[in-house]
Amino acid sequence: MATVIVVTSGKGGVGKTTTSASFATGLAQRGYRTVVIDFDVGLRNLDLIMGCERRVVYDFVNVINNEANLNQSLIRDKRVENLYILPASQTRDKDALTKEGVERILTELKQGFDYIVCDSPAGIERGALMALYFADEALVVTNPEVSSVRDSDRILGILASRSRRAEQGENPVKEHLVLARYAPERADRGDMLSVDDVLEILGIPLLGVIPESSTVLQSSNAGVPVILEDSSEAGAAYNDLVDRFLGKALPHRFTSIQKKGFLKRLFGGG
């Protein structure tokens, strides 16, 4: 039975799409048939980060409106086997997402996939609600700042009260915290919240800490999910995150200030 995972945050620009792309890629790399869906109708950019924007023919809304079938709109990733992307439409508005339509597509996808990753738009409007409604698990992406944590708290409340699982009285959506854009030296100076601060406020299990890293912007400009840059800290952090999701007990890295070694100082890196 396929698992539906929403990547959500409330606040915009915190790293949902970056996380969706790397998480889905990581699951597929480990042999799971995975599809990642862009729910950000009108502002699509998952296909850019996945590097497949020039291969988009049909999109999510086309399938909902029965203008195309799933096979026509799923894009097969060229680098990683088992990985498919269902892009969002650039031109439609968010009302195109109906509960019935989304449910029909998810039900069909569940036949052929192990994991369905839903990249949620920001906010708590229709698009975000549709992305989380059918979720079994949630990656709640937060930046170490008060407003982002507050919005994540809000989303956790919505997951607990307005998801399908909540409405049907089933087991609650399983919550995972992803703390993105973390800079230990700034947390140490008190410029941003620390890992412990965030955990104390949100009180959900920490799946991964993704360090602030310039590699993220570079790789998304190049259309490569950063998890494929395994020599970078952000890539390594996403690899750990996927392993932890699949049950490996790994210690958290990149949460404290690293003294730069001689070679690192010589060649840089980050």
Ligand X SMILES: Nc1ncnc2c1ncn2[C@@H]1O[C@H](COP(=O)(O)OP(=O)(O)OP(=O)(O)O)[C@@H](O)[C@H]1O
Residues 6+ apart with CB under 8 A from 230: 236, 239
121 secondary structure, DSSP code: P
Residue 161 binds which of Mg ion, other proteins, ligand X, none (CB < 5-8 A, kind-dependent): other proteins
Is residue 135 near other proteins by the rule CB under 8 A?
A: no
Contact 127, 3 (CB under 8 A): no
Query: Of 167-175, 194-202, 215-223, 245-253, which segment contacts ligand X by CB under 6 A?
Result: 215-223
Residue 94 binds which of Mg ion, ligand X, other proteins, none (CB < 5-8 A, kind-dependent): none
Pair type for strands 83-86 and 75-76? antiparallel
The gap from C-alpha 6 to its chain's centroid, in whole angstroms, comes to 7
Is residue 128 near ligand X by the rule CB under 6 A?
A: no
Q: How many CA atoms lie within 13 A of 67 on its CB side?
A: 10
**Which residue from 52, 122, 179, 228 is in contact with ligand X, where contact means CB under 6 A?**
122
Is residue 201 near other proteins by the rule CB under 8 A?
A: yes
Please give the backbone phi and psi of residue 229, each rounded to the nearest 5 degrees, phi first: -90, 75
Residue 77 binds which of other proteins, ligand X, Mg ion, none (CB < 5-8 A, kind-dependent): none
What does the alpha-carbon distance between residue 56 and residue 73 come to, in Å, rounded to a whole number? Answer: 8
Residue 156 binds which of Mg ion, other proteins, ligand X, none (CB < 5-8 A, kind-dependent): other proteins
Q: Which residue bears the tokens 């915190």?
A: 14
Contact code string over 3-42 relative to Mg ion, x by CB under 5 A = -------------xx-------------------------
Tell the smallest beta-carbon distance from residue 229 to ligand X (Å): 12
